[in-house]
Every structure is written in structure tokens, then in C-alpha cells.
Amino acid sequence: MEALTNRSQAVDRSPMNFWERLYLPAIFKGLGITFKHLFRKKATVRFPEEKRQFSPVFRGLHILNRDEEGRERCTACGLCAVACPAEAITMEAAERKEGEENLYREEKYAARYEINMLRCIFCGFCEEACPKEAIYMTETFAPANYQRKGFIYGKDDLLIPDPKAKA
């Protein structure tokens, strides 16, 4: 049978000499590699004092965005929930009532929007699927928590603060 790749190598089956049977050269070679790594720069980062630089394509926690006027961009179309392969996003749509024009951009809005971070695989499909650019992924990572409920982020956790309310 012919090999699939040309990477195969013939194995040397010659008998070992005296020094090879003692395994001392192999032990010293391993110790040399160990000592070489002792004097290299450490890869560890002292977290609270030092912040690690993330890759430009890093996908962290989700954020629900607002428009320039402070209204929610999300129209509860459900495309992000459909695009999520882990089914981590759940939402319920509601109709905008009279007098809420300054809160919601469209007639329909997300009354309930939750992301289960324990199920999320941080693929970014929700960000790509959103036609209104309402959801995007930041460069922050999920903090540790001892309860499962702490990893389910609701709409109030995900929505960025109103820029007009801050001023």
C-alpha cells in the first residue's frame, strides 16, 4: 500500500553502544534544555498590577449598543439567537408603547435579552448576524463567579449606559 504523505522516515534499528545504553547523554541533553529555560523571560503576568495585551481579533464579553440619541439599537429580530451555534442567547420581543420613542429605536424591541456565558463559545456569529449592529464583543473577559446565575447576563448587564444620562 502506498503512503499518503512523503513524510515517513526509516527507523534506525542498529544496536545501542555502551554510552547509549547508560542513557547519560539523553539525561544531560534533557537537563541542558531545562537549564536553558530557567534563564528565559517568564510568560507569567502579574494580573492585578499588569494587564495582558490581547490579540486584535480577541472576542470577549458581549455588549448591547445604543445609537447616538441613547436609544437601544436591538429590534429583537432574533438573528443573533438563530446564528448562535451554542444556543446561548434567548430573547423575547415586545411592542413599543406610546411615549417610549426616546427609549427604543424601532416599534419592536427586546423586552428580555439574556446570554448564558456558560454555553457561549465566543464565536462572534451573533455580532456578524446582527443587521442593526446592536451587539458586539468587547476586549474584556468574563470574570470568575461561584454561582451559575452569575454567568447569565440579562439586558441590564449587557446594555451600555445611556450617553445622555451620563451628561
pLDDT value, residue 1: 60
Kindly tell me the number of DSSP H helices and DSSP E strands found in the chain: 6, 5
Residue 167 has pLDDT above 60, yes or no: no
Instruction: Tell whether 17 is in a known binding site.
Output: no
pLDDT value, residue 115: 95
Q: What are phi and psi of 6, to 5 degrees?
A: -100, 25
- Look at residue 14 and tell me if it is in a domain: no
Instruction: Tell whether 84 is in a known binding site.
Output: yes
Q: How many domains does the chain have?
A: 1
Instruction: Tell whether 142 is in a known binding site.
Output: no
- Look at residue 133 and tell me if it is in a domain: yes
Degrees, nearest 5: CA angle 118-122-125: 125
pLDDT value, residue 165: 66
Instruction: Tell whether 152 is in a known binding site.
Output: no
CATH number, domain with residue 108: 3.30.70.3270
Residue 93 has pLDDT above 90, yes or no: yes
- Look at residue 148 and tell me if it is in a domain: yes
| Euclidean distance between CA atoms 130 and 74, whole angstroms | 9
- Look at residue 2 and tell me if it is in a domain: no
When the pLDDT of each residue in the chain is averaged and rounded to a whole number, the result is 88
Instruction: Tell whether 79 is in a known binding site.
Output: no
Instruction: Tell whether 88 is in a known binding site.
Output: no
Domain hosting 116: range is 62-166
- Look at residue 73 and tell me if it is in a domain: yes
Instruction: Tell whether 120 is in a known binding site.
Output: yes
- Inter-residue contact 152 to 115 (CB < 8 Å): yes
Q: What is the DSSP letter of 4?
A: S
Radius of gyration of the chain (CA): 27
Give me 105's grid cell: 429605536
- Look at residue 56 and tell me if it is in a domain: no
> Cell match 424591541: residue?
109
- Look at residue 8 and tell me if it is in a domain: no
Query: Whole-model pTM?
Result: 0.68
- Look at residue 112 and tell me if it is in a domain: yes
pLDDT value, residue 34: 94
- Inter-residue contact 119 to 86 (CB < 8 Å): yes
Q: pLDDT tens-digit profile of 6-61? A: 888 888 899 988 888 888 888 999 999 999 999 888 888 888 888 888 888 889 99
Instruction: Tell whether 126 is in a known binding site.
Output: yes
